């Protein structure tokens, strides 16, 4: 049997709160392993001024409403908050959810929201990833019960810092999102428990080799890190019908349907088409898929993924 896991990432833009909450409850009821949303304060697909809900508030509300699904941000913007505060927030989420929190975090990329909200965006991608490495190292230590004092010349200024209470989970998992070979994957090798990547199966297989080399260099067992792939998909009885649904979703999200799509996202078609693609990722070592779902949160895709696709993937040999 194949131990493939599936999570759902609900876009926080273009939806009412009641619809976002109702869909989260459906994700929990259908037995998905993870439930995620973005950490953005401006919409990132289409018109940036369309409605969007704040991330940490959303996942905390979900934690109180759901029963079993694990919950996190895909992914938290490191630039938005002091990492010590993030350690406190995710610990509180872990208690509120009864030990179901995952800390998703990344370097951040959307300059517009930083400029409008007056948040320091840094001078380059490299600088933001240096901040991320320092941040995640501090968070990992704090969540493990250690005292943290920032190094001389660091971006942060922690002074003999501890947090209390500790998380419910003995090791609260940290997920790091991104494909950066030099810095992101090295930070993942040092501190992360989960990785969320994107790309075609051959591309992420090659990136996985980069991660393995980083793990070897830092003395980390690469088997401790769960690999997940980011996908968009639409399930219908034909590719044409799936494409029509996607066009309607993009209209709701104020995005031109002519916008060029990535080769790996979205995947359109029948359950059998989806299964074939998921097995390609499984063969590449990515045993978890996290499916992004735009408003209006298509229930047919959500239900068929759980009830048709998951059983077909599960019955395939590892």
Query: What are the residues whose beta carbons fall under 8 Å from the beta carbon of 317, sequence distance 6 or more?
Result: 1, 2
Give the Cα separation of 66 and 31 in Å (integer): 11
Q: How far is CA 266 from CA 159, 189, 216, 260, 305, in A?
A: 46, 28, 34, 11, 14
pLDDT at 314: 85
Cα distance from N-terminal residue to C-terminal residue, the chain: 6
pLDDT at 55: 98
SS (H, E, C) the chain: CCCCEEEEEECCECCCHHHHHHHHHHHHHCCCCEEEECCCCCCCCCCCCCCECCHHHHHHHHHHHCCCCEEEECCEEHHHCCHHHHHHHHHHHHHHCCCCECEEEECCCCHHHHHHHCCCCCCCHHHHHHHHHHHHHHHHHHHCCCCECCCCCCCCCCCCECCCCCCCCCCCCEEEECCCCCCHHHHHHHHCCEEEECCCHHHHHHHHHHHHHHHHHHCCCHHHCEEEEEEEEEECCCHHHHHHHHHHHHHHCCCCCCCCCECCECEEECHHHHHHHHHHHHHCCCCEEEEEECCCCCHHHHHHHHHHHHHHHHCCCC
Percent of the chain's residues with pLDDT above 70: 97
Query: What are the residues whose beta carbons fall under 8 Å from the beta carbon of 281, sequence distance 6 or more?
Result: 201, 204, 229, 289
Q: Which parts of the chain have pLDDT scores under 70?
A: 1-2, 257-260, 317-318
Domains recognised in the chain with CATH numbers = 5-314 (3.20.20.30)
pLDDT at 317: 66
Q: Which tens digit of pLDDT belongs to each residue from 129-150?
A: 999 999 999 999 999 999 999 9
pLDDT at 268: 94
């Amino acid at each position: 049997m194949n131990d493939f896991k599936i999570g759902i990432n609900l876009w926080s833009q273009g939806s009412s709160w009641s619809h976002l909450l109702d869909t989260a409850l459906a994700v929990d009821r259908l037995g998905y392993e993870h439930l995620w949303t973005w950490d953005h304060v401006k919409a990132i697909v289409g018109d940036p001024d369309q409605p969007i809900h704040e991330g940490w508030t959303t996942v905390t509300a979900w934690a109180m409403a759901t029963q079993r699904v694990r919950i996190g941000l895909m992914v938290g913007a490191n630039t938005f908050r002091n990492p010590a505060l993030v350690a406190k927030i995710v610990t509180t989420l872990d208690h509120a959810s009864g030990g179901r929190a995952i800390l998703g975090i990344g370097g951040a990329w959307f300059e517009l929201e930083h400029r409008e909200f007056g948040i320091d965006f840094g001078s380059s991608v490299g600088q933001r990833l240096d901040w991320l490495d320092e941040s995640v190292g501090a968070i990992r230590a704090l969540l493990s019960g250690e005292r943290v004092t920032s190094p001389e010349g660091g971006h942060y200024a922690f002074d003999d810092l501890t947090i209390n209470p500790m998380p419910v989970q003995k090791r609260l998992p940290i997920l790091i999102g991104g494909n950066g070979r030099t810095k992101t994957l090295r930070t993942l090798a040092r501190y992360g428990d989960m990785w969320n990547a994107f790309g075609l199966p051959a591309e992420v297989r090659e990136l996985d080799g980069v991660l393995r080399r980083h793990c070897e260099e830092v003395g980390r067992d690469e088997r401790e890190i769960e690999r997940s792939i980011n996908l968009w998909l639409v399930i219908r009885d034909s590719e044409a019908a799936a494409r029509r649904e996607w066009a309607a979703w993009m209209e709701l999200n104020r995005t031109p349907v002519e916008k060029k799509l990535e080769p790996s996202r979205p995947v359109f078609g029948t359950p059998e088409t989806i299964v074939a693609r998921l097995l390609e990722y499984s063969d590449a070592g990515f045993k978890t898929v996290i499916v992004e779902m735009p408003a209006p949160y298509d229930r047919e895709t959500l239900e068929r993924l759980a009830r048709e696709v998951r059983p077909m993937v599960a019955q395939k040999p590892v």
